[in-house]
Amino acid sequence: MISREPTLERLAIARRCLLDPFGLDESHLQRALAEIRQHRVDDADLYFQTTRSEGWSLEEGIVKSGSFSIDQGVGVRAVSGEKTAFAYSDDISMASLLDAARTVRSIAAASSSASTRVPARKVAPSRSLYADLDPILSLDSTAKVDLLGRVEALARARDPRVVQVMAGLASEHDVVLIARADGTLAADVRPLVRLSVTVIAEHKGRREMGSGGGGGRWGLERFDDVLLRRYVDEAVDAALTNLEARPAPAGEMTVVLGPGWPGVLLHEAVGHGLEGDFNRKGSSAFSGRIGQRVAAPGVTVLDDGTLADRRGSLNVDDEGCASQRNVLIEDGILRGYIQDAMNARLMGVKPTGNGRRESYAHLPMPRMTNTYMLGGEHDPQEIVASLRKGLYATNFGGGQVDITSGKFVFSTSQAWWVENGKLQYPVKGATLVGNGPDVLTRVSMIGNDMGLDSGVGTCGKEGQSVPVGVGQPTLRIEGLTVGGTA
């Protein structure tokens, strides 16, 4: 059998899903874009999408709920200067396309010199980072229920103090097709799965919770017993550790952050401040600082949408640009921002493959993909051993950041009090308070154990949510403010 080049295969899948059922072809898309180009616009695009989602949840030993949904539609956008006009519809038809095109072109004045020439068709370059599969079909319903049952059994077998287990399984098959006014055509087929585990442990009347899980752009068969046990162990260990936790001390102190998911602090406190829209408007603490030192020597931060099978990765972004490996901070020096097409044009730079939107009903904006800090030279045990008195945080819950000031607040979900390089006891209720640009200058030791999260991150911005990844090595940070309960 002769196989097609992956980019062309994804285009063929997108046509079958998004054009053929509605009697459309590429000539219809060009006609809609030509309607917009009758006015003086800087950019325009059509974004078609169909998404199939399925979810299962287990509690008290039984699967209590299941869900399945299909959502499809098209978004039509025109850009003139800094202004954007946008319309969307869940009716994919030529009539809807033309109606939306005539609506959004009103953002600019009609042009007597509008070109009637159809731009040459060009297929956007893309990556091949994950399989063109439908994860919903990768296991049948019986196997999905059995999978959740194995999670329950593994958790209860770990320790008799586990009194409640909750597990969830989510699958998504997303197909997108992007047509731009310059003739560019791009498509992607995006599988996404996630397994979540939450346990409650009880001892002497005290109850504590722990969670684990992960996922990525693959099929459900990847969740074998080895991976399930890893997620379950993570959740049970967290709950049992929290049973022994004492109130956290408060004050300014040295903090050591563990690898992997604690990179969510980097994502919130620094990553959002490096998005192009905030910097173009001058509202970020990093605005106008390209080429300046913004972090300690050794700190290198990347946003990389090209990692195979990762939750935050994309073959192409939601504007048809190939994902990239973008160095944002290199050895402490600010090198660039995360860009979508509009902000890149207005700032006189190239897009970085970070134009993302939640769905066809939303506008694209510069968003992170997989954001992480590279490792250094120190052994992580050496970093913890260097701590005379302070906090060692290995997992985080929620957090928030003010983009303009860079101030952040994060709550830890698993942390230890350390004295003379030894873990003394787990603590609960600790919050980290600081300033994003400032905290990077306080990094004094960087571990050689850079790790990515297990595939659970979802980022919110201006009401839109998209899947992302985070990561970092073990870090020692001086002089962080810790809010505690002691």
Tell me if 39 sits within 8 A of 114, measured CB to CB.
yes
Neighbours of 365 (CB within 10 A): 22
Q: Check residue 120 and give its pLDDT.
A: 84
Query: Strand ranges (DSSP E) for 81-226?
Result: 83-89, 122-123, 162-180, 184-203, 206-216
Q: Check residue 115 and give its pLDDT.
A: 56
Q: Check residue 1 and give its pLDDT.
A: 45
Q: Which residues of 287-308 are buried (b: 16+ CB within 10 A; e: fewer)?
A: eeeeeeebbbebbbbbbbbbbe
| Rounded-to-integer distance, Cα 255 and Cα 407, Å | 17
pTM of this prediction? Answer: 0.95
Tell me if 383 sits within 8 A of 73, measured CB to CB.
no
Neighbours of 20 (CB within 10 A): 11
Q: What pairs with residue 330 in β-bridges?
A: 333
Please enumerate in sequence order all residues whose Cβ is within 8 A of that of 113, keeping only pairs 6 or more positions apart, or say none. none
Region of 106 (left: φ > 0; alpha: ψ -120 to 50; beta: rest) is alpha
- Please report, as a single letter, which amino acid is at residue 15: R
Tell me if 222 sits within 8 A of 195, measured CB to CB.
no
Angle of CA points 287, 288, 294, to nearest 5°: 75
Region of 151 (left: φ > 0; alpha: ψ -120 to 50; beta: rest) is alpha
Question: Residue with structure tokens 């901070």?
Answer: 329
Q: Check residue 269 and give its pLDDT.
A: 84
Region of 100 (left: φ > 0; alpha: ψ -120 to 50; beta: rest) is alpha
Q: Which residues of the chain have pLDDT under 50?
A: 1
Q: What pairs with residue 44 in β-bridges?
A: 78
Region of 163 (left: φ > 0; alpha: ψ -120 to 50; beta: rest) is alpha
Pick from 359, 328, 304: which is nearest to 90 by CA? 359
78: tokens are 């025109």
| Rounded-to-integer distance, Cα 191 and Cα 195, Å | 14
Question: Residue with structure tokens 């173009």?
Answer: 280
9: tokens are 């295969």
- Residue 87: C-alpha distances to residues 44, 81, 176 (Å): 12, 18, 17
Pick from 244, 250, 234, 296: which is nearest to 270 by CA? 296
Q: Check residue 112 and give its pLDDT.
A: 60
Report the C-alpha dihedral over residues 24, 30, 34, 36, rounded to 10 degrees.
70
Pick from 263, 257, 287, 262: which is nearest to 403 by CA? 287
- β-pairing verdict for 301-304 and 251-257: unpaired
| Rounded-to-integer distance, Cα 123 and Cα 350, Å | 18
DSSP conformation class of 113: T
Q: Quick one: how far is CA 412 from the chain centroid?
A: 20
Pick from 337, 334, 356, 355: which is nearest to 347 by CA? 337
Tell me if 429 sits within 8 A of 248, measured CB to CB.
yes
Tell me if 476 sits within 8 A of 386, measured CB to CB.
yes
DSSP conformation class of 293: B
Q: Check residue 404 and give its pLDDT.
A: 79
